[in-house]
Amino acid sequence: MARSDQTQTAVLGALSIRPMTGYALREGIRSTLGNFWSESFGQIYPALAELERAAMVERRGAKDTRSSTFAITQAGSARLRELLSDPPQPSKPRNALMLRLFFGRQLGVDACRDLVLQARARAEVQLTELTSARAELEGQSLGEDSPFVLITVLAGEHGARATIAWADEALNELSALEEAALEGDGTPPRAHIPSTMEQS
């Protein structure tokens, strides 16, 4: 039936900001919610079709100039508020980076360092993007939605800064690990405590 409540929520939510084509919906979600949400065409169009059948969205400007946009209806707004109200089910986490680091002993210290450095670089980029996004927000773009959008942008910034700080700490750990390995001769790297570790 309901091809995912989650997708419906995102679609109705986006349309609550302004009417859009399905295509623009995907673009908007990617560019604006990209840091914490994603939808593919394969979900958006079926979702729109279903919502239209349920009279929660309707097409506007049918064969007018360009193509028709989808607009949220009253029933749709009600449904959206309903969907937003039920508790956010925390999605099962699947962090491929952490999985690799967790089994870092198999992967090797150097590869781990690369991964951490890449993550750090991504976080830096994200941070500058978000900071400029916040600047834009001071402008106009989203009207009354702005304060709420700001809150999500702030979350992204905090997250990015946390990633950067973590990365630096992780790099230290990895270096310490390597040094310990060198000192310890051929013996495998011991944990991070200097302590008294005579080899063999």
> Token digits for 28?
């908007």
Position among 31, 53, 64, 90 found at the interface with its own copies (CB under 8 A): 90
Q: Which positions from 162 through 191 interact with its own copies, judged by CB under 8 A?
A: 162-163, 165-166, 169-170, 173-174, 177, 188-191
Residues in 165-194 that interact with DNA by CB under 7 A: none
Euclidean distance between CA atoms 94 and 77, whole angstroms: 32
Rounded distance, CA 32 to CA 149, Å?
A: 9
Q: What is the CA radius of gyration of the chain?
A: 24
| Residue bearing tokens 């979900």 | 43
CA distance 171 to 17: 43
Q: What binding mask, one character per residue, do residues 10-29 give for its own copies by CB under 8 A, x or -? A: x--x--x-xx----------
Determine if 66 is a binding residue for DNA (CB under 7 A): yes
Q: Does 57 bind its own copies (CB under 8 A)?
A: no
Residue 155 contact, options DNA, its own copies, none, Cβ 5-8 Å cut-off depending on partner type? its own copies
Binding to DNA by CB under 7 A, coded x per residue (else -) over 69-98, reads -x---------------------x-x----
